Each structure stands twice: as structure tokens, then as C-alpha cells.
Amino acid sequence: MAYELSNRLVVGIASSALFDLTESDAIFREQGEDAYRGYQEKHRDDVLRQGVAFPFIRRLLSLNDLSEADDPLVEVIVLSRNDPDTGLRVMGSIKSHGLPISRAIFMQGRSPYKFMPALNMSLFLSANERDVREAVSSGLPAGHVLGAPHADDAEDDDLRISFDFDGVLAGDESEQVFQTGGIEEFRAHETRNAAIPHDAGPLREFLAGVNRIQQREEEERRNRPDYRLRLHVSLVTARNAPAHERAITSLKQWGLTINDAFFLGGIDKGEIMKILRPHIFFDDQTTHLVGTSQTTPSVHVPFGKINEIAGTVRPAARPPARPGPVSPS
């Protein structure tokens, strides 16, 4: 009987997002693929250090204790450019870190993101920006992890996830209004359309999967009054009143929920993150993530017109040029 993924929250993770591959990637760039493969073979038994997305993945997988062992709520699958031989170090490190990840796709020098629909993935994380751009331009929910790994990963199971709204949970229609007409036209547009939900953005279905786990937590708390909720979701957006109303209306009409909302109206998100301390934050604009990535595992979702203008998303029919080697991930 086939293993079904349809009712699970499935996340794809590149080894470059899960682990710190700075040293081996430098060898690939400077000495080429053969030297890289030799290095990985020589260091096969050396455990890779935690990467930017490691705390998020560890905590997400820990929520499987809410389900039966043979029917997990969460499935994490490695999607890697490594060949199967060098992938042995990745799988060995996963085992050494105690992560319950058993499924992987290794494609030597090629990006495996095209398999996301077949695997029912609602998110793919990678440190390879080019792979993420191509995935998003193909209509797939992907994010580019930014910054250095954050060493402060307390050994608890709480999981705090933060989302921007426009271009992440929602489409970028209103962002386009802001870019062309300015803040006053944006506010007028959102006021006129306050009762009309936005089109879905790339990570709406990921939030839906997170909400299903939160519902399972609520069931657990009803059965066990001493159970402490571990999963917490916040919205952190540059919107403020009156544009806040349409964001909340959209979430409500989509049947989705959040625990907290921060309508900042241009206040630096980085300062908020220092206090909120999410284990991962998704935003569609790198200008916001420059600050947040200093203290918070941050993910750029290169979706929408603003990213096309910035050159971070190209049409799927015309993939970006490939000057030089692309490091395995």
C-alpha cells in the first residue's frame, strides 16, 4: 500500500538550508565538483553543523508526537543537488542530530524542485537562490534562507512562525497598487476592497497546514488540560489601519487563523523580531529581511512584480543564465 502524503504537512528542505555547508561549498566553487565529492567522501563521518532552517525543522518534526508513529502530521523530505554518494554525509548528519527524516531525493547537479507537486509539498527551503527563484517562477511555494545559522537554539519544542502578508500569504495585487500609486492610493484601494479577500499567495497552503496542526493541539488540550500549546503563528506586516481590515478579512474568509498580528506601518521589523523571536520569518522583500536576518532565521519568498522588477524572479520559460558552477545543496 502506497504511503499517502495528501493529509500531511509536507516540507522540502535542501541540505544547504538544513546544514551549514559554507566550507564544502567553498571547495566546490574554488576547486570544482571532483574536489567537492572527494572532500565529502573524506568527511563522510563528520557531522554537519546546524544551518539556518535547522531549529524550525527540528521543532516542526517534534509536533509528530501528537500523532501515531506510522501516521505523522509532518513529513520533511530532503531535496538535494548532491549525488547519492555525497548525500550519504547529509543523511548521516540527519541521523546524528536525531531528526526523524527518512525520505530524500538526490539529483547530481540538478534542482529537484520540480518534484514538489508529486510530493504534495507546501514549502521548499534552500540556500540556493537560483533554485528558489526558478521554483517560485514556476508557481511553486519556495523560500531562500538568509543569513548565518543562529546558534541560540534552546532545547525546547516551542515553534514560533511569522509571516509577512502581501506577496507571502496573499498575492501582490495591493503591493502593485502601492508601487505605482503610493501610500494614499494603496490605502484608498484597500478601503474600497475591504470586504473582498485577496488572491492566495505562495504560502497560504503552508499556513493552512500549520493551522491543521494547531487544531490538533487544541484537541489535545481539551483531552489533557495540562497540555501546553507549542505552535504559535504571527502576522508581521508593514500594513496599518485602514489597510489592516482587508488582511484580517482575507484570512477569515480563507478559513485560516493567526495568534498575533503586528500592523507596523513602516516600523522596522527587525526590532520587533528581537522581542518576538520567531524560529522562522517569511517576507517577500529583502529590504525587510536585511535587518531581521541578523537575529532571526529569515526566508525571502521572491514572489510578485516587485521581485520581477528587482530581477529576483524570471519567467519560467526563460530560466536565468548559469555563469559558472552551481553548488550542490
**Residue 154, domain member (yes or no):** no
User: Based on the domain organization, do 185 and 270 belong to the same domain?
Assistant: yes
User: Based on the domain organization, do 141 and 264 belong to the same domain?
Assistant: no
Under DSSP, the state recorded for 309 is H
Helix (H) or strand (E) segment spanning residue 75: strand 74-80
User: Based on the domain organization, do 115 and 205 belong to the same domain?
Assistant: no
User: Based on the domain organization, do 66 and 190 belong to the same domain?
Assistant: no
The answer, yes or no, to whether residue 227 has pLDDT greater than 50, is yes
Q: Are 237 and 264 in contact (CB under 8 A)?
A: yes
Q: What pLDDT, on a 0 to 100 scale, did the predictor assign at position 292?
A: 95
Tell which of 146, 178, 201 closes a domain.
146
Q: In terms of pLDDT, which residue wins out, 140 or 196?
A: 140
Joined grid coordinates for residue 194 = 475591504
User: Based on the domain organization, do 213 and 188 belong to the same domain?
Assistant: yes
User: Based on the domain organization, do 218 and 111 belong to the same domain?
Assistant: no
Residue with cell 521589523: 269
Residue 57, φ and ψ in degrees, nearest 5:
-65, -45
The answer, yes or no, to whether residue 243 has pLDDT greater than 60, is yes
Whichever domain contains 192, its CATH number is 3.40.50
pLDDT bracket for residue 24 (50, 70, 90):
confident
User: Based on the domain organization, do 205 and 245 belong to the same domain?
Assistant: yes
Q: What are 135-191's pLDDT values in tens digits?
A: 999 999 999 999 878 766 676 789 999 999 999 999 988 888 887 888 888 888 888
Whichever domain contains 81, its CATH number is 3.40.50.1000
Q: In terms of pLDDT, which residue wins out, 325 or 174?
A: 174
Q: Are 93 and 71 in contact (CB under 8 A)?
A: no
Whole domain around residue 75: which residue ranges?
9-146
pTM of the model: 0.91
Q: What pLDDT, on a 0 to 100 scale, did the predictor assign at position 301?
A: 98
**Residue 32, domain member (yes or no):** yes
